[in-house]
A and B are shown apart, each in its own frame.
Chain A
Amino acid sequence: MTGSPLKRTLSYLGFAAVAVYCLAPFYWMAISAFRRPQDQFDNSLVPARWSWENFSAVFSGDNGFGRALLNSVIVAGTTTVLTLLIGTFTAYALARLDFRFKNAVLGLIVATTMFPGISQLVPLLKLFTDIKWINTYQAMVLPSLGFALPLSVWLLTAFFRQLPFELEQAAMVDGCTRGQAFRKIIVPLAAPGVFTTAILTFIAAWNEFLIALSMVNKKEMQTATVAISKFTGVSGFDQPFGTQMAAGVIVTVPLIAVVLVFQRRIVAGLTAGGVK
């Protein structure tokens, strides 16, 4: 695109404004993580002395952060795998099969995304207490499924609808059963959409806080987001911001890397579903 120099300058300024708006707080987190604990309240834009001290403090004895990361991976990973397994079948039916009440079913599933997590929490907390599920992975995975499934079904339905119908029909004419046609034709074609849904589901499950905070009271079972918010740190009397910022960097940098690599897919997924 060409434009007058003035217009071009203005849009570069606009670009810079957007980038600064989005990145400045994150930059501040990263840069604070690299300060020495004694420089923590220094407000210079670049640390006077770079240091890894905050990062080693994150993994020091009391925090149990390694375990928390593992818990997060287990909870978010299991949620993602289960969501995709269950959601793919449902989305296929909603996008491909013709039956009565189809739109009512899709509407019902989508409507459950509006459900506030807190109303889910109280009964499930009571139920899980009764069946001794408090401090277990399933107590975090199962409620997360309730949030992840509707969005995934919705996204996958949108993706499945975009696939060409003819290939599947041709395979069925050639003697495949519907199941075979699904496995051999639809699954490979749908892989990109499924992958996009997987990323979005994983990020949502990784970011989950309310359920993980409530269903677990043992430190060894906390997920990373909960663990970081409860860091006590070495200083003791004050909130250990340096350690928390370092932990925040550790938790977000892999996510941001994934987001940047698969940027295009994620935008496609977000705009297809309009999900959070």
Chain B
Amino acid sequence: MTTTESAPAAGTAAAGAPRGRGKSDVQGTRRLAALLLSPTLLVLALVIGYPVLAGFRESLYARGEGLDADGFVVEGDRFVGLGNYTAIFQGDRADAFWNAFSNTTFFTLTTVVLETVIGVAMALIMQQAFRGRALVRASILVPWAIPTAISGLLWRWIFQADGAANAVLRQEILWTADGFPAKAAVVIAEVWKTSPFIGLLVLAGLQMIPRDVYEAARVDGAGPVQQFFRITLPLVKPALLVAVLFRMLDVLRMFDLPAVLIGVNQKSVETLTMIAWFEASNLRYGSAAAYATILFLYIALIAYLFVKLLGADIIGEARQRTRRPRAVRPARAGRRAS
């Protein structure tokens, strides 16, 4: 994807390798590299590459509806071309699709914006070097460590009609029933779980900013707000962009949280993954594969646009070397100091 930018990293590796050896050594290195890489590439080809292609092929077929005695579908694929895709955009199915599509997009936009704002605020708070920081940093890992399915249950419990959320708010909202409150419940639970993650990454970015930059700015008369927008934000931008990209890709394929918190096949929270899963669990593999392929293309498009427009660099080392020429040994210095 962004490999063109990581040339400096290659240069370092080349400098590390013994130089001036004969041709046989180069060949040996290549053979060794091929040998070492092949298991990973084999696994990825099998469990990622094969499904992409097989899924696309699957999406062009429809199955006979017959079930055998064990409840499995009797073999009987029939080629329908783009039939599964056109079916998605027609009639009732089109409503269901656009609903899932807009839910997915809505969740992505709201949660990423909210968790970025909360995460950056958390990082700024945690950057204050007072006692108790270790405790706060430990507590910030708790939401991240709780399995998403469990946190779905936890929030389902909090959002019960007579649960903690309504008791605190002194309201009687039916959060987990349907409609907008269900959407809000998913957004709240997701933001709770993931904004600490953004906070951590931004904190790491903050710690790489040399202190003298701020001193210079203060001497020049910059206030705290100016310092934040002119220094902090631009300098943590690379770390932040990577965090945001990964969060976006994660929300786009969201399943566990809404499925457990609200339930599958619920209009208000159905995402593209959920609709595809529902099709697959009803053994409509062709249509499920079509939904999955559309989601795959949607995610690829968003990732491409994000990387192109904002220049987020997903290969970390290259990012450190090319994008932060001013910071001195950024990553490691930051990590030790923490």
Contact = CB atoms under 8 A, between A and B. Distances in A.
Contact of B246 (A11, A129, A274): A274
Contact of A98 (B10, B72, B272, B315): B10
B58 A26 contact: no
B204 A229 contact: no
Interface in A230-246: 239, 241, 244-245
Tell me what chain B mostly uses at the interface: helix, strand, loop, or mixed. helix
A248 B148 CA distance: 11
A99 B33 contact: yes
Given A122-B51, A126-B58, A209 B149 contact: yes
Nearest to B50: A123
Interface string A106-117: 110111111111
A117 B139 contact: no
Interface string B124-152: 01101110111111111111111111111
A106 to B, nearest CB: 6
Contacts, number: 335
Contacts of A109: 40-41, 44
Interface string B298-317: 01100100000000001111
A116 B299 contact: yes
A208 B239 CA distance: 26
B54 A118 contact: no
Interface string A1-41: 10000001001101101110111011011001000000001
Interface stretch (B88-96, B159-167, B179-187): B159-167
A25 B44 contact: no
B318 to A, nearest CB: 8
A256 B293 CA distance: 36
A14 B128 contact: yes
Contact of B143 (A15, A22, A126): A22
Given A126-B285, A276-B250, A229 B260 contact: yes
B39 A89 contact: yes
Contacts of A264: 338
Contact of B200 (A8, A106, A260, A271): A271
B269 interface: no
B33 A97 contact: yes
Contact of B58 (A92, A122, A129): A122
Contacts of B155: 25
Contacts of B1: 107, 110-111
B292 interface: yes
Contact of B44 (A124, A126, A149): A149
B39 A245 contact: no
Nearest to A14: B125
Contact of B273 (A14, A95, A118, A251): A118
Interface of B: 1-3, 6-7, 9-10, 12-14, 16-18, 29-30, 32-33, 36-37, 39-41, 43-44, 46-48, 50-52, 54-55, 58, 72, 122, 125-126, 128-130, 132-158, 160, 162-164, 167, 192, 196-197, 199-201, 204, 239, 242-243, 246-247, 249-250, 252-253, 255-256, 259-260, 272-273, 276-277, 280-281, 285, 288-289, 291-293, 295-296, 299-300, 303, 314-318, 331-332, 334-335, 338
Interface of A: 1, 8, 11-12, 14-15, 17-19, 21-23, 25-26, 28-29, 32, 41, 43, 86-87, 89-90, 92-100, 102-107, 109-127, 129, 142-143, 145-146, 149-150, 153-154, 157-158, 161-162, 165, 169, 172, 178, 203, 206-207, 209-210, 214, 225-226, 228-229, 239, 241, 244-245, 248, 251-252, 255-256, 259-260, 263-264, 266-268, 270-276
29 contacts: A11-B130, A18-B139, A19-B135, A22-B196, A25-B155, A43-B167, A89-B37, A89-B40, A96-B16, A99-B30, A100-B30, A106-B3, A107-B315, A112-B44, A115-B48, A119-B289, A127-B54, A149-B40, A206-B147, A209-B149, A244-B153, A255-B145, A256-B145, A259-B138, A263-B138, A266-B141, A270-B197, A271-B239, A272-B316
